[in-house]
Amino acid sequence: MAPFGYAPIEYSEGMRATSVLVVAAALLLAGCNDDLSEDVADPIPATPDNAPSIAAAEPAGDDTPTPDVSALKAPAATPAASITIGDQSWSFADVTCAIDGDIVDVTAGGDGLQLHVGTTDGHVASLHDLDDPEDPDVAYEAAWDSGEFVTVDGQQVSGSVEFFDAHSESMETTWPGTFHVTCP
């Protein structure tokens, strides 16, 4: 009878072999865990005299084909729009563009504001508060007599123009403004 009422454990041959292997592996690992740092000499510091050299690669022979990169295109620019009127600036990441030569219709928005730039019916630019159009915090329009001020260069639309507060009683006070849009 086993002490304290425990039944003896009966080991099979497979369990004995596994136990022997586990004990042998533990002893082997314990023997490999010696501290070798005392036996290792300090490394030789690198100086210009003993620094390793890297040989330059030999140029490829004439038979190496040169890849044709003419078909590769630059990655598309991230759409973005910014406008500055007087000393205030706004930036937008949500941009929609329609460009056909010099005909442009751009809309950019965020945080309740919308920037619109277009050349379909004369040159126009505006920044409006969409959240409260009856009593807007922001309501700027390009001066009506500004002529042509929108410039298109590929997917870039920009311009400089005088803006007035479209919500005020007087349209005589203007502020210089610039805008730049990177279309998708």
Specify the number of domains making up the chain: 1
Establish if 45 belongs to a structural domain: no
Whole-model pTM: value is: 0.58
The answer to whether residues 161 and 177 touch, using CB atoms and an 8 Å cutoff, is yes
Per-residue pLDDT of the chain (184 residues; tens, 9 = 90+): 445 554 555 555 555 555 555 555 555 555 555 554 455 455 555 555 555 555 555 555 566 666 665 555 555 678 999 999 999 999 999 999 999 988 999 999 999 999 999 998 899 999 999 998 888 999 999 998 889 999 999 999 999 999 999 988 777 899 999 999 999 9
Residue 171 belongs to what domain range?
Answer: 80-182
Phi, psi of 27 (to 5 degrees): -65, -40
CA 26/CA 176 separation, integer angstroms: 80
Q: Is 54 contained in some domain?
A: no
